[in-house]
Amino acid sequence: MTADGDRAVAARAAAGDAAAFAVLVESHAQRLHRWLVATGTAHHDAEDVVQEAFLRAHAAIARYDARWAFSTWLFTIAHRVRLDLAARRRDHAPLDDIHAAPAAPADALPEGGLWSRARGLLPADEFRLLWLHYAEDQAPAAVARILGINPIAARVRLHRARKRLEAALRADPSFTPAEALS
């Protein structure tokens, strides 16, 4: 579904159309889950985050701002839910768990592909940004809104992530420039 189509469906949902909201659930649940898992959230946590994000979106659908795509709004909510979950975990986790870096589930990204390599090369925040822009087709301003950062910072980090990925791929003999970069 296109962003404009999403907006129209979300507008119907905001007007009280439950079927329209069900359409939004159907079209975005898997995408949201995939983003969460690809960026390091465990499968069962990702499901909780997705469900909670949709519950919050449902409760606040009347306040949906149609200037943004519905996916931007939903991903923003999901990102906050994930941060809330991480904060709760930090409050209750032993120190060793706090300092452990979250690992992406092994089966989230196809082995040997660009995304798998990017996940290994880039810091988590840059990978998250890269995914939102290229895999979810979110504009830099929308990415900034989702992650709660400055739009200029989003552009800078996006550029930095691309450069870092490009440099790493060029230096990787198993991944020839001809294959990855023209």
Partner 1 sequence: MSDLASRLRAEALTVPPTGDPGLAGRIRDRLPAAMPPARPHLRFPLRLAAAAALIAALGLAWLLASAVDVDVDAPPPVVVMPPPPPTLSEMLRDAGSAVPGETVDGELAALGADFAAVARTVRSAVPF
Q: Provide the binding-site residues for partner 1, judged by CB under 8 A.
A: 13-18, 21-22, 25-26, 29-30, 33-34, 36-38, 43, 46-47, 50-51, 54-55, 58-63, 105, 107-110, 113-115, 118, 130-131, 134-135, 137, 162, 165-166, 169, 180-182
Residue 54: CB minimum distance to partner 1, A = 5
Residue 94: CB minimum distance to partner 1, A = 28
Residue 95: CB minimum distance to partner 1, A = 30
Query: Which of residues 35 and 144 has its CB atom nearest to partner 1 in the complex?
Result: 35
Query: Which of residues 53 and 144 has its CB atom nearest to partner 1 in the complex?
Result: 53
Round to whole Å and give the CA distance between 178 and 157.
25
Residue 138: CB minimum distance to partner 1, A = 12
Residue tagged 């069962």 (tokens)? 44
Residue tagged 């839910």 (tokens)? 81
- Those residues whose C-beta lies under 8 Å from the C-beta of residue 72, and which sit 6 or more positions away, are 138, 142, 145, 146
Round to whole Å and give the CA distance between 165 and 36.
21
Query: Which of residues 68 and 131 has its CB atom nearest to partner 1 in the complex?
Result: 131
Query: Which of residues 38 and 69 has its CB atom nearest to partner 1 in the complex?
Result: 38
Query: Which of residues 36 and 144 has its CB atom nearest to partner 1 in the complex?
Result: 36
What CA–CA distances, in Å, run from 145 to 6, 12, 45, 151, 181? Answer: 18, 23, 23, 8, 30
Round to whole Å and give the CA distance between 179 and 114.
11
CA nearest neighbour of 135 among 26, 37, 47: 37
